[in-house]
Amino acid sequence: MNYGRAPMHTFTRTINNPNLSDLMSENSVWVNPKVAKEWELENGQEVWLKNQDGIISSFPIKVRVTERIRWDSVYMVHGFGQNDKRQKKAYGKGASDSELITHVAYDPIMGGTGMRSNFVTFLTENPHNNV
């Protein structure tokens, strides 16, 4: 799972800003067409992401089928999937990459962290229905 920034958003602070939210109100998960075909995923379809440790995204994220991502990766913009209801514009919009990052690799020499060492799979049905 890869994550990054969008030009109009920096971290989670801007997701609830009405002007910037109008430009991008939620993130999507970029999926290569080969993977989308294998998983029978379509553009705009909502999925939940489940990481290698069994953590499931609190909210669904829409699929974006694109050649702009490798077949062995997915990509999403950081900062979405906020679970604080006081954030009226941001609450429940897209999925949070932060909640799916449970494995962090540490460089033993300089102490740097690598958080892009997490893997996800797709759940097409709401796993939170029974809650």
**β-pairing, 113-114 with 105-106?**
antiparallel
| Domain at 2-123, CATH from 2.102.10.10, 3.40.50.10480, 2.40.40.20, 3.40.50.300 | 2.40.40.20
pLDDT score, position 116? 80
Task: For 42-82, write each residue's pLDDT tens digit.
Answer: 999 999 999 999 999 999 999 999 999 999 999 999 989 99
Strand order in the sheet with 120-123: 2-4, 75-77, 28-31, 61-65, 46-51, 120-123
pLDDT tier at 131 (50, 70, 90 boundaries)? low
Question: Predicted confidence band at 117 (pLDDT cuts at 50, 70, 90)?
Answer: confident
Residue-range domain boundaries for the chain: 2-123
Predicted local confidence at residue 98, as pLDDT: 92
Nearest to 90 by CA among 77, 100, 101: 77
**Angle, CA 105 vertex, CA 99 and CA 111 arms, to 5°:** 115
Examine the pLDDT at 93 and tell me if it is beyond 60.
yes
